Structure 1
Amino acid sequence: MIQMNKKILSEVKEKIYGYVAKRRLREAFSQARSLAETMMDFESADALQRSEETYRHMLHYASTGAEDPTRAEMTARLSDSILSVVDILDRKNRVADEPSLYYNVARFENMRPAESLGMLVRQYVKLAGDTSIFNLVAGSHKQEEYRNTLIERQELERRIFNKVWTSHPLRPADAAVLDEVFSGQSAPDYFKSLMVWALTLGQLAFFDAARIELLLGAYTSGSQQVKAAAIVGLLLCLGDVRGRYIPRKVINRLEAARETTAWHSDLELAYKEFVRTRDTDRITAKIRDEVVPEMMKLRPEISRRFSGELPVDPEEMEENPQWQELLEKSGVTDKLKEMSEIQEEGGDVMMGTFSHLKSFPFFHDVANWFLPFHTDRSELEEGDAAPMKALADILMAMPMLCDSDKYSMLLSLQAAPEAQRSMLMQQINAQASQFAELRSAMLNTDVTDRRDMLRKQVQNLFRFFRLYRRKGEFANPFDRGIEPAGAVGLDSLCTPALAAVVAEFYFSHAYWLDGLKVARAIDGLQAAASVPDSPEYLLMQRMGFAAMKLGLYDEALRYFNHILLVTPENPWVMKNAARCHMQLARYDKALELFVALGSLPEYAGDASVALFIGHCYLENADYDKAVKAYFKAEYLGAKPKKVLRQLSWALLMNGDADQSRRYLERAMSATGPVPNDYLNLGHIALVRGDFKEALDSYRRNIATRREAGALTEDAAREAFIADVAEDTAELGRLGINTELLPLLVDSLFYTL
């Protein structure tokens, strides 16, 4: 096969995908066949020719008007055959010399064709059985031998993971081996979960319906642990296969999975956990930038007051009244309470802590990021194994940590000094006991356990795509998100109730665009929002606010106007709708809403409403009414920085230069001068006929522009000229000879 320029191949591939999406299959076949022949991949060219012949036969029957109930499915299958061949050509072209990890691993596996997946799995199953028996009968004198056996087994796990991950397309024999692994009892559950993630990562690289079929098999026949991994993998894969043909046998298996009792609830829980990761970066930043710095600030004070006897953790500090007083005064108590509430809601508060503990060689292998935590590890057989095994047993029982973080903790404590390790193990043991007590008090532990399992799977995945040292080589599914609408098998995630919950989550954390995307897709929202105080009615208000925050003012007004049809005197909506009209320069409509808002009893004395009314009159050049509105706003208590400058300008435009100057000087005294103040002082002086004062004010305007904005002299002058030009028409209306203005500007510049 001839290697092709990757950029050119990528462009051709994109063009072929476009033809298929537009159902222009004749051009797609022609381009794909030409690509295969150029690369001298005659096997792919022959496959395309056979598919095209089938397509031509189908076209012949279609052109005669003959009915064919299988035509739609056949068209989809033939379309996908083109895409599949193009994917294979692209992969073959890249596997030759692409330096990314995926292709490095693929090249390694290609060099060992004799080591089939079936052979490796048989070796692994035998070794897993041998180590289980060995673990039961071996004495301490056999520890090193047992550890070596575990290392051999772990190496096989890695090899099998890599082979499943990078094989494309999966051969029927390999698929049969994996199907047997999932349905049988010969392999441990953690190995099955590992295979789920190998299949998922491979599917995210290249589409292969066989992988989806195997994931469905893993879900229907697996333990709760395997089901949790499989449903998260399916959520990712099904959300990523739009436009691809899924064979009938896979659809049938999907329908069978959907008939199981837990499918819909598991899928919904997994989707919610995926959505929740959107907030992880904010939580991590909050801990890093707010909680930790405040705790560090307390350290000198605690050392001074308590002779350096520092508590080992914040919870211990809260138990001591003196420490508690320090925490409350510093605000740390409120922050810790907020973090606790976030964790109770399912927020990932551990990401920031463990993100610094992923540099161990253990995490250099992709497989280990997805490996379920278990105690049958070679790391637990080094030296005095008893303490580390005890720690591993404790970690196994801690639901708040995902598998990846448990391995981080185990490896970091293994490297810690003995004294520090013992102290930390005591803390961990105490926390594990607390969680055990809390769990025993729960009424519905089954749902909690399933949610915890799903959360751990999503967190493992999130950590890999965010923290793996070569993460840039992988397309991050958390960046693009999951949009269930139109995705095969995900229709149960498109219910209005669930979409509303997801949208509210996004809105409550200020992810405006994410929430808006979800809420827009809710069927029947407008009709449901016509009921006052219904959840949909409140959601539509949030949609309006989100659109306004994104600058989508027309869209925001659609939502706000609907609410105002239902409840015409909704003050919050009236105010925000008016603000949208102002952003769109529709000042008459904004004024109408603000006047109506000000007529409501609870807003009759609202200074902000009077201020907005003044702004609308000012923009409409109704200066007399603008002055009255600003005076009212001042009387009602509007802050000087919000009203005095606007009032000064309205007075000037209304022809009262002396009073305009007094109010501008009040503003400058109350809040400090800004560059634009000197520009307006210059205008006022011109209207009053004091040219010397005008030139002095303009000179100060240029100087303060330069200082405040770190501008060059030329940039400050150009900005000044632009502002004078913008105000020229208004100054002319006030009686200034506008032909004089350029002369004044030149005169000013000669003196600078």
Structure 2
Amino acid sequence: MTVQEINKAYNRIEGSLNSKELKNAFDFLQKLIYESKEYSLQDKLTELHDTYKYMLRYRVEGMRDPMQSKIYNDLMASTYELADDLKMRLLLRISSVIYFDRKRIAAYQPLQSYRVLHDELTTAVEVSDYKQVDGLQLNLFNQVWLSGRLTREELSDIRDIFADDTIPFSASCQIVSALLLGLQTCFDDEKVLLLCDAAMSGKDEVRARALIAILITLYLYHKRIGFYPAISNRLEALAERGGFVKELRTIILRFILSRETEKITQKIQNEIIPEMIKMSPKLNKKINMQDFSIDQLGDEMNPDWQNMIENSEFGNKMKEFSELQMEGADVMHSSFIHLKSFPFFSEMGNWFLPFNPHHSAFGSAFGKGSEFDNVLETMALSSFMCNSDKYSLYFSIMQLPEQHRKMMMAQFDSQAMEMIQDRKEEFMPEDKRFEYIVGQYVQDLYRFFKIHPRHLDFLDLFALKLDFHNLPQVKALLSDNESLTIIAEYYLRKGYIDDALVVYERLALSSPDNEELYQKIGYCKQMKEDVQGALEAYLHADLLNGDSKWVIRRIAGCYRALKQPEKALGYYQRYEALSPDNLSVTISIGHCHLELKNFSEALKCYFKVEYLDPESHKAWRPIAWCSFLTGKFEQARNYYGKIMGNAPSLQDMLNAGHTEWALQNVKGAINFYKMAVEADGGDFHKFMEQFTQDIPDLLSAGIEEQDIPLLLDELRYSMDGSL
């Protein structure tokens, strides 16, 4: 069988189990065992099949077994596991993805127990053998990542590593990352429970990674997690720990923010960098660097230069860039995309390693106590660079010529480092420590799943929605209004309207009297172009608070969009009563009257706007058209004359032609019609589409129907130049 055939067969089995079609799953499993000749699994399948048939027989005969629910859950879980086992065996034979490549190689290498690895790590730490520590941590990562189902002894040994405060926390971090990668390949409930143990850690770095790994695993296997009550119980136990909900919320917000990374990368490459390039010659011209002599130079910059930058498009983009960075967005991804080819990153575990200034990779070029230690210590404190990028930066610095490198070191003198140490808390404030750690790890994961040389061998987690708050197992843990409101607001602010709407509607179920929720539900639906749905939400909000001008105007706009001008008019008039000087609303009232063919009332509104705001010219077009419709052709001509001198549109030219025709100025009408055709690239067909729509208005203006084809032919001759 090919890899594609194996995966297709497995997906059929998994799909049947996800739909709780156990009989179909058994049939598909039987077929796959037969086709793959993995007969050693036949007894297990037969046992499961027989158990299910007995359970169904008892039920059909009306016998109620108090253990039926547990038996069914165990059956489902065991069938999932049998399918997993079969798939892993088959793929191990032929799959070329990195997991199976490494697993085949590992089968020929001696395997150390986790107890031995733990003991060796303890000894290496005691003698400060950093190279040995780093090597053992990589061994831990690889062994856990490639492991199958762990024995009770192995599980106990790994828990002992989690609990040991004498070894670096990075060892536990590596185990957690390895568990995450391994679980992506194959589900294992015991490994999920291990992550729950790590999530109880007192070390922020370990706990943050474990919670992220748990959420991702719950997302990937949400259909089957419910069959493992032990996992649900452990999640509930985790939720009892103080600060759990806030930590969960922090992780969810960070993953929402990670959706922006690709946009930010594109913005930097396509907008900010080109603006910098354009800015450079402008600045050089302003400063005129060639005219400077030594005695002309001073410390003070010309404020004009700063103003030129601040008021430019580049200045605006850099301000936006700075705000994104302050928010924790991944603004560095584009800078480090091409800096992951160093030998350090050939070890997969190093992509997830917390930054350590004492890593053995740093000891070859400089001895301990060198000026380069200052650089490493400063990098360790940085909160806006993820761990992976910090390692990349170090190796990039190492490639600089020695002279340039020493110049850089000179910037980190003892006085500067003293200041950095004094302000250490400002680099990563204690109250934001967990948030920064989460942000850095999410970015580490992003780099791995996007740019690791073998990233295509893994499911790209960041191509998934990752809406953790909607998972059945998380909903119960994150049901407080504060958390859901924060998540919804974040989605809304980032423009993820669909996601925001789901959360707002969930909040509305528990807070039916919250007018603001219905306002936002209406807004989200309006953004999705569900005008009727938006209207219903706005009307609900209006019932709760009839004084919101914003809601009243939205309701009016929805009714207009739904071609119900009479109802729209009523709400615009309500708004006008609350804000009589809002000329935009006055124009909208005029439009409603126009649509209702109350032309005289419409003109009153338009003239009011022109009188109160003569500079804006907003009312010219509606006055001109309304004048035409009411037979005030000279008045219409007057206003179209103004419009023609002020960037007329194609429709303006068409309407001006109608007006001239109504005034029996056929030559003038043809000239305007000709302008309209030419303004649309000479496309007479498009002109005719618009012209035809206006024929009823032309007839109402007194144009004889039989004259219409004649004038159009005159226009055609005119376009040919033969009239």
| Bin for the TM-score computed over the shorter chain | 0.7 to 0.9
**Higher deviation after alignment, 58-67 or 71-80:** 71-80
Question: Is 1:30 equivalent to 2:30 in the alignment?
Answer: no
AA aligned opposite 1:552: D
Question: Is 1:717 equivalent to 2:674 in the alignment?
Answer: no
1:480 positional shift: 0.8
AA aligned opposite 2:555: A
Q: How does 1:71-220 map to 2 (within 5 A)?
A: 71-90=68-87, 103-115=97-109, 118-119=112-113, 121=114, 124-125=117-118, 128=121, 131-132=124-125, 135=128, 157-158=137-138, 160-167=140-147, 175=155, 178-184=158-164, 188-220=168-200
Q: How does 1:462-611 map to 2 (within 5 A)?
A: 462-471=446-455, 473-477=458-462, 479-489=464-474, 491-522=476-507, 524=509, 526-530=511-515, 537=516, 539-600=517-578, 603-611=579-587
Q: How does 1:323-342 map to 2 (within 5 A)?
A: 326-331=305-310, 342=324
Contact 2:628–2:659 (8 Å) recurs in 1: yes
Per-residue CA deviations over 1:341-397 (Å, capped at 9, x if unaligned) read 655544444445444534434345442221111234342132344444443233223
3-state secondary structure, aligned to 2:468? coil
- In 2, distance between residues paired with 1:3 and 1:355? 34
3-state secondary structure, aligned to 1:493? coil
Aligned counterpart for 1:322 among listed residues 295, 301, 305: 301
1:160 positional shift: 4.9
1:499 positional shift: 1.0
- In 2, distance between residues paired with 1:556 and 1:235? 33
- Paired residue for 1:534? none
Contact 1:561–1:577 (8 Å) recurs in 2: yes
- Paired residue for 1:248? 229
Per-residue CA deviations over 1:552-577 (Å, capped at 9, x if unaligned) read 32332233222211221211221122
1:57 positional shift: 1.2
Aligned-residue CA RMSD (Å): 3.8
Q: How does 1:598-747 map to 2 (within 5 A)?
A: 598-600=576-578, 603-637=579-613, 642-670=618-646, 672-706=647-681, 716-738=683-705, 741-742=708-709, 744-745=711-712
3-state secondary structure, aligned to 2:512? helix
- In 1, distance between residues paired with 2:286 and 2:60? 87
- Paired residue for 2:254? 273
C-alpha change, 1:65 and 1:431, in structure 2 (3 Å) is farther
- Paired residue for 1:230? 210
Contact 1:280–1:348 (8 Å) recurs in 2: yes
Contact 1:732–1:738 (8 Å) recurs in 2: yes
- In 2, distance between residues paired with 1:500 and 1:747? 65
Contact 2:559–2:565 (8 Å) recurs in 1: yes
3-state secondary structure, aligned to 2:199? helix
- In 2, distance between residues paired with 1:458 and 1:335? 25
Contact 2:328–2:384 (8 Å) recurs in 1: no
C-alpha change, 1:60 and 1:427, in structure 2 (3 Å) is farther
C-alpha change, 1:49 and 1:699, in structure 2 (3 Å) is farther
- In 2, distance between residues paired with 1:299 and 1:462? 38
- In 1, distance between residues paired with 2:287 and 2:390? 31
Contact 1:239–1:488 (8 Å) recurs in 2: no
3-state secondary structure, aligned to 1:599? helix
1:336 positional shift: 6.6
- Paired residue for 1:380? 362
Per-residue CA deviations over 1:300-330 (Å, capped at 9, x if unaligned) read 6457399599xxxxxxxxx965366643553
Contact 1:606–1:636 (8 Å) recurs in 2: no
AA aligned opposite 1:557: L
3-state secondary structure, aligned to 1:697? helix
AA aligned opposite 2:74: R
AA aligned opposite 2:449: F
C-alpha change, 1:25 and 1:746, in structure 2 (3 Å) is farther
- In 1, distance between residues paired with 2:330 and 2:633? 60
C-alpha change, 1:695 and 1:396, in structure 2 (3 Å) is same
AA aligned opposite 1:516: L
C-alpha change, 1:96 and 1:746, in structure 2 (3 Å) is farther
Aligned counterpart for 1:59 among listed residues 56, 59, 77: 56
1:200 positional shift: 1.0
3-state secondary structure, aligned to 1:613? helix
AA aligned opposite 2:654: L
Structure 1, unmatched stretches of 5+, are 137-145, 310-318, 531-536, 707-712
- In 1, distance between residues paired with 2:393 and 2:586? 59
1:252 positional shift: 3.8
The TM-score, its normalising length taken from structure 1, stands at 0.82
AA aligned opposite 2:177: W
1:68 positional shift: 2.7
Contact 2:609–2:619 (8 Å) recurs in 1: yes
3-state secondary structure, aligned to 1:484? helix
3-state secondary structure, aligned to 1:69? coil
AA aligned opposite 2:71: M
- In 2, distance between residues paired with 1:306 and 1:227? 59
- Give the total of aligned pairs: 704
AA aligned opposite 1:368: N
Aligned counterpart for 2:390 among listed residues 400, 406, 411: 406
Aligned counterpart for 1:455 among listed residues 439, 442, 464: 439
Contact 2:92–2:104 (8 Å) recurs in 1: no
Per-residue CA deviations over 1:258-291 (Å, capped at 9, x if unaligned) read 3444534433333333334345556666666359
- Paired residue for 1:3? 2
C-alpha change, 1:68 and 1:421, in structure 2 (3 Å) is farther
Contact 1:369–1:404 (8 Å) recurs in 2: yes
1:215 positional shift: 0.9
- In 1, distance between residues paired with 2:590 and 2:39? 76
Q: Percent identity?
A: 26
3-state secondary structure, aligned to 2:472? coil
- In 2, distance between residues paired with 1:237 and 1:497? 25
AA aligned opposite 1:673: P
- In 1, distance between residues paired with 2:448 and 2:78? 32
- In 2, distance between residues paired with 1:738 and 1:476? 66
Contact 1:582–1:590 (8 Å) recurs in 2: yes
